[in-house]
Amino acid sequence: MKNLFYRYLSEIKAGFRISLIYRFNTLVHLLTAPINLVIFYFLWNAIYGYTGQEIIRGFTLPALISYYAVSIIISFLVWADIDEWMEEAVRQGYLVTDLLRPINYIGSNFFFLIGLKLLNLLIQTIPFFIIAVVFFNVKIAGPAYFLLFFVALFMAFVLNFFISFLVGLTAFWLMKIGGIRRMRRIFVFFLSGALIPLSFFPEWFQRISSFLPFEYIRYHVINIYLEKYTFVEVLRVMGIQLVWIVILCLLGILVWRRAYKKFAGAGT
């Protein structure tokens, strides 16, 4: 048990060390994020001015800007392209070397990703949060909601991990999964409410979407931060997040076993 802990810890360390190599890239994102926010501001400022409405679909203009600010933070911390690594590993054959390491494959990927994100938290998320609060008037959530937000954020991270992982597993059968990966990105981006909050979509669309896991990666998590939900509603969101995590995790384990058999069997 103790050894297991150290193994996963060293996986986190590996991720962190790798992220240090790409710290420059990480810092560039810190610069582009506020620019994005400014663009969103001008766009929505014009829309609000044109319609003459104070509130559109439950959002005032400042609330909408806060929505995008928190959305960017979620992108920083949650976004992951594990499917891309997995495709490379299968195609280039270095999956073999992953399998020679004495560590559970799913676990190693998960903790490696956590290690990668650690630096994002330090040099991207926190500075950007300060910028958002100081220059964009983003409200700091109350302590209770702040805490709940973090819990939901972590679950969103896990949820997104498994979605990306499952997409990556298709590489074991299809070898080239560029198309599926792009679809996954679009789905997660659009249906999680990254472009516009889901309440801007028509009713029927929202209903369909509510049966899918994507909006639990972003939309509801942001709403928790914006204190749009009562505690009961927050618990409901987290409950659904948990259910999705369990479903996708079990599915992930199941498919991984088959994928591994397929890989090790090499067509027999």
Partner 1 sequence: MKNEPIICVENLKKTYKTHSREPGLVNAFKSLFKRKYIIKEALKGISFEIMPGEIVGFIGPNGAGKSTTLKTLSGILYPSGGNVKVLGMTPWKNRVKYVKNIGVVFGQKNTMWWDLPAVDTFELNREFYSIPKEAYKERLDRMVKLLDVEKVMRTPVRDLSLGERMKCQAITSLLHNPKLVFLDEPTIGLDIIAKDRFRDLIKDTNKKDKTTFIVTTHDMQDIEKLCDRIIIINHGEIIYDGSLKNIKGEYLSNKIVDVKLEEAHQGFKLKGCKVLKRRKYELKIEINVKKKSINELVSYLLENYQVADILIQDPPIEEIIRNIYEK
Residues contributing to the site for partner 1 (CB under 8 A): 3, 6-7, 9-10, 13-14, 17-18, 21, 93-94, 96-97, 99-104, 261, 264-268
CB distance 263 to 172 below 8 Å: yes
Q: Can you say whether residue 104 is alpha, beta or left, with left for phi > 0 and alpha for psi between -120 and 50 degrees?
A: beta
**Shortest distance, CB of residue 77 to partner 1, whole angstroms?**
21
Choice between 51 and 97, CB closer to partner 1: 97
| Minimum CB distance to partner 1 smaller for 84 or for 227 | 84
| Cβ atoms of 196 and 116 closer than 8 Å | no
**CB of 93 or CB of 202, closer to partner 1:** 93
Beta carbon nearer to partner 1, 10 or 26: 10
Q: How far is CA 87 from the centre of its chain?
A: 19
How far apart are the C-alpha atoms of 117 and 11, rounded to whole Å? Answer: 12
Rounded CA gap, 143 and 257, in Å?
42
**Minimal distance, residue 14 CB to partner 1, in Å:** 5
Q: How far is the CB of 4 from partner 1 (least distance, A)?
A: 10
Q: How far apart are CA 100 and CA 145, in angstroms?
A: 43
State the nearest-atom distance from the C-beta of 171 to partner 1, in Å. 17
